[in-house]
Amino acid sequence: MSQTFYRKGFLALAVATAMGAASFAQAADIKIGVAGPMTGANASFGEQYMKGAQAAADAINAAGGVNGDKIVLTAYDDACEPKQAVAVANKAASDKVAGVVGHFCSSSTIPASEVYDEAGIIAITPGSTNPTVTERGLSAMFRMCGRDDQQGIVAGDYIVDVLKGKKIAVINDKDTYGKGLADATAKQLTKRGVKPVLEEGLTRGEKDFSALVTKIRSVGADVVYFGGLHPEAGPLVRQLREQGLKDVKFMSDDGVVTDELVTTAGGAQYVDGVYMTFGADPRMLPDSKAVVEQFRKSGYEPEGYTLYAYASVQALAAGFNGAKSNKGEDAAKFLKAHPVKTVMGEKAWDTKGDLKVSDYVVYQWDKDGKYHQLEKQK
């Protein structure tokens, strides 16, 4: 709450008391949690979440808030660790949050959402794509993103139709998100008649992939698909290049949508040419133009999941306002019955909490360490 608000509040209270008023009502706060990796290897995504959520909360508060109440955000750091995610979910419940924007890693969102469900808290994840998130019958769990099975189809088709891959190595990080996405892509490749020549897992936190690179070379792979996050994707693509596999195409997912990929790879020269799947760039939409300009004026580029988090707060606010209630169950019922206008365009959800329309497309990183949506998608 701003100092100006406090000063005005106290001034009004003093005036009301001086006039002998019997009571003075001030708008209450509605608490919304923002849960994700605020520390650790994936903290860049936590920063995207907070930047987007705070900007949305500020805009909504300036327009009158949620049912007359002011949104107050609290960050909950799960470090993309499932046990920590459950701990912070319990803390959020004890803090009496009305809604949650989070989590990021699917392996965190899945157990944390059980806690929210029991507490009657509505949650919208900007970035968890594993199908299990919305397949367990939870009444108030939503996504602002697509699903692995949708993303895997796009990746698999692109590898076959555009990259013309014949020998595909499918690598995953053994985590719920990474393996789920790798499996979905491998399934689509097999369906298209190109069964992967190698399916292998690596361990999150590893940095030396020389043995894996040797395996990839031994099978003669012409495309490597990696299901996982940037802390491992960066070193993996660098070591492929350093060990002579410069012509092998590298494709990954929406877990590498951060300029930290360049850092973990050791330089833009190593990510040049890397492909990835992600939702159609929300920064290019007419609905986001004013918000994107505001971010850029402040010196922050709203990449990755920034606008997904912004839209998630907008959706929560729309749900509460539409239901004329700050209860999660009421907001969830409203969102499943009504489309909502967001910075990412109009969004509508099915009865499970999945978006009715998925917009995954393929991007490519360039020599300057920036990613761009490709014109040729098929």
What is the number of other CB atoms lying within 10 angstroms of the CB of residue 86? 16
C-alpha separations of 220 from 168, 198, 242, 247, 355 in Å:
9, 10, 16, 11, 39
Question: Over pLDDT 90: what percentage of the chain?
Answer: 91
The residue among 169, 149, 150 whose CA lies nearest residue 159 is 169
Continuous H helices in the chain: 3-18, 43-62, 82-94, 106-119, 148-161, 176-191, 210-218, 230-242, 260-265, 268-271, 289-297, 306-323, 328-337
Is the pLDDT confidence value at 8 over 50?
A: no
Average pLDDT estimate for 336-362 = 97
Q: What is the pLDDT of residue 182?
A: 97
Two structure tokens written together for 75 = 């960050």
- Segment 166-223, tens digit of pLDDT: 999 999 999 999 999 999 999 999 999 999 999 999 999 999 999 999 999 999 999 9
Q: What domains appear along the chain, each with residue ranges and CATH number?
A: 3-18+25-145+285-347 (3.40.50.2300), 149-253 (3.40.50.2300)
Q: Is 101 helix (H, G, I), strand (E, B) or coil?
A: strand
Confidence of residue 375 (pLDDT cuts 50, 70, 90): confident
Question: Over pLDDT 70: what percentage of the chain?
Answer: 93
d(CA 179, CA 359): 21
Task: Return left, alpha or beta for 334; rule: phi > 0 is left, psi -120 to 50 is alpha, else beta.
Answer: alpha
Higher pLDDT, 23 or 338: 338
Confidence of residue 2 (pLDDT cuts 50, 70, 90): very low
Is the pLDDT confidence value at 26 over 70?
A: no
Mean pLDDT check: name the lowest of 25-29, 42-46, 66-70, 211-215. 25-29
> Of all helices (H) and strands (E), which one includes residue 92?
helix 82-94
Q: What is the dihedral of CA 102, 131, 213, 166, to 10 degrees?
A: -140
The residue among 228, 224, 311 whose CA lies nearest residue 274 is 224
- Segment 229-279, tens digit of pLDDT: 999 999 999 999 999 999 999 999 999 999 999 999 999 999 999 999 999
Is the pLDDT confidence value at 18 over 70?
A: no
> Of all helices (H) and strands (E), which one includes residue 278?
strand 275-279
Cis geometry, peptide bond prior to residue 103 (ω within 30 degrees of 0): yes
- Segment 61-86, tens digit of pLDDT: 999 999 999 999 999 999 999 999 99
Mean pLDDT estimate for the chain: 92
Q: What is the pLDDT of residue 27?
A: 58
Is the pLDDT confidence value at 24 over 50?
A: no
d(CA 201, CA 375): 32
The residue among 90, 48, 96 whose CA lies nearest residue 72 is 96
Q: What is the pLDDT of residue 377?
A: 84
> Can you name the residues that pair with 174 across neighbouring β-strands?
none
Q: What is the pLDDT of residue 4?
A: 35
- Segment 101-122, tens digit of pLDDT: 999 999 999 999 999 999 999 9
Average pLDDT estimate for 145-150 = 94
Q: What is the DSSP letter of 287?
A: G
Is the pLDDT confidence value at 96 over 80?
A: yes
Two structure tokens written together for 271 = 């990510």
Whole-model pTM? 0.87
d(CA 345, CA 19): 48
